[in-house]
Structure 1
Amino acid sequence: MEYIVLQVTEEQRGERLDKVLAEVNNEWSRSQVQQWIKDGAVTVNGQGVKGNYKTKAGDEITVVVPEAEPLDVIPEEMNLDIYYEDQDVLVVNKPSGMVVHPAPGHTTGTLVNGLMAHCKDLSGINGVMRPGIVHRIDKDTSGLLMVAKNDMAHESLVNQLVAKTVTRRYKAIVHGVIPHDTGTIDAPIGRDKHDRQSMTVEENGKHAVTHFHVLERFTDFTFVECQLETGRTHQIRVHMKYIGYPLAGDPKYGPKKTLDLNGQALHAGILGFVHPRTGEYLEFEAPLPQEFEETLEKLRRQS
Structure 2
Amino acid sequence: MSTMENAAATAAEDQEIEEYRPHRKWYRRPDIMVPVLLILLVYALLVGYVESPNFFRTKMEAPSGLVNFDWMWFFHLIPLMLQGLLVTIKGALLGFAVAVVLGLFFALGRRSKLPFVSWPVIAVIEFIRSTPVLVQLFFWLALERTIPVIDLSPIALLMVGLGVHYATYCSEAYRAGINSVDKGQWEAATALNLSPVTKWTRVVLPQAVPNVLPALGNYLVAAFKDAPMAFIIGVHGVLFFADQVAAETFRVTEPYLIAGVGFLMASLPAAWAVRQLERKIAYERV
Structure whose CA Rg is larger: 2
Pick the TM interval, shorter chain: under 0.3
Q: TM-score, normalised by structure 2?
A: 0.25
**Which structure has more strand as a fraction of its residues?**
1
Q: TM-score, normalised by structure 1?
A: 0.24
**Which structure has more helix as a fraction of its residues?**
2
Higher relative contact order (CA 8 A, sep 6+): 2
